[in-house]
């Protein structure tokens, strides 16, 4: 199989370009791709230094560069080397310009400006980190979302992903031997979502976790009967309280988070009859999502 060197050049943090590349590469099985990441490319001198590395590892060049001078220089250098270069956002930007009747503002990193949404996201991340794994239950009413599930049901990574989208998230492990705080069942503001998974998948994840920690992989933590009881106990709790449930067995973190956001938006649309934003008060909403 031929190896492909994929060069990603951005005049900002490169997060958008990385997501585009990741989504596209997911369509190719067993592709041998080496990614080279070049963020904050804002001068021709910087570009020239990168071009020497690209020449040493020729491949496909994807870029999100606003400066017409730097773009032209990159495209010229790539053409000289016989390499393909693709402006990842041009097609979308051109279509938006036509539909909106205005030109895009050519400012590097414009999507990362430190506006109100930026500070809300930072606040959400700080809240989420401080309320991981059942910590800080006294402040759960301040959360937008609370994730509940047995150990290793992807609560923490999903919480962090949602926090990066601006949601204040708390999460709590459901443990048969240790009932959660009573406040979990009286919350009004946060959307409580139960995360569940198949017994087989959960045992596999837990066993791999134990092995990574050099711990004995044969304990009650991975015992089939014990794990089955845990999963059933959690599912019964979710059902008794009318909480929406997401099965994460075959979902990526991104897919699970997207499902949670859909539930959150549906809840707010039911309440307010319109779109919602993280942090909006929802204290007068009660009951499960249909």
Annotated binding site: 149-156
Residue 259 to residue 244: CA distance in whole angstroms: 10
Sign of CA dihedral 275, 277, 280, 282: positive
Tokens of 162: 């949602």
What are the distances in angstroms from CA 92 to CA 21, 97, 98, 99, 112?
15, 9, 10, 11, 18
User: Can you state the angle between helices 253-272 and 155-163, rounded to 10 degrees?
Assistant: 60
Q: Which residues are annotated as a binding site for ADP?
A: 149-156
DSSP 43: S
CB neighbours of 205 closer than 8 A, spacing ≥ 6? 152, 197
**Backbone phi and psi for residue 247, each to the nearest 5 degrees, phi listed first:** -85, 115
Is the Cβ–Cβ distance between 144 and 169 less than 8 Å? yes
Residue 25 to residue 243: CA distance in whole angstroms: 36
């Amino acid at each position: 199989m031929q190896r492909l060197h994929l060069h990603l050049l951005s005049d900002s943090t490169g997060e958008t370009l990385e997501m585009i590349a990741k989504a596209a590469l997911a369509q190719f099985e067993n592709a041998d791709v080496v990614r080279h990441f070049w963020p904050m490319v804002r001068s021709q001198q910087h570009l020239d230094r990168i071009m020497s590395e690209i020449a040493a590892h020729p491949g496909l060049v994807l870029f999100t560069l606003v400066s017409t001078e730097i773009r032209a220089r990159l495209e010229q250098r790539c053409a000289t080397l016989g390499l393909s270069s693709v402006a990842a956002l041009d097609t979308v930007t051109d279509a938006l310009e036509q539909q909106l009747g205005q030109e895009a503002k050519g400012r590097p990193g414009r999507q990362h400006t430190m506006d109100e949404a930026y500070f809300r996201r930072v606040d959400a991340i700080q809240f989420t980190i401080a309320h991981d794994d059942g910590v800080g239950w006294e402040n759960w009413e301040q959360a937008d979302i609370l994730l509940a599930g047995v150990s290793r049901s992807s609560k923490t990574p999903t919480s962090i992903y949602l926090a990066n989208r601006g949601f204040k998230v708390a999460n709590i492990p459901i443990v048969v031997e240790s009932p959660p705080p009573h406040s979990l069942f009286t919350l009004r503001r946060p959307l409580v979502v139960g995360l569940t998974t198949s017994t087989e998948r959960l045992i596999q994840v837990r066993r791999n976790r134990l092995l990574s920690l050099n711990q004995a992989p044969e304990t009650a933590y991975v015992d089939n009967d014990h794990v089955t009881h845990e999963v059933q106990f959690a599912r019964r709790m979710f059902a008794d309280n009318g909480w929406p449930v997401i099965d994460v067995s075959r979902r990526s973190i991104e897919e699970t988070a997207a499902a949670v956001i859909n539930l959150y938006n549906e809840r707010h649309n039911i309440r307010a009859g319109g779109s919602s934003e993280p942090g909006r008060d929802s204290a007068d909403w009660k009951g499960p999502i249909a």
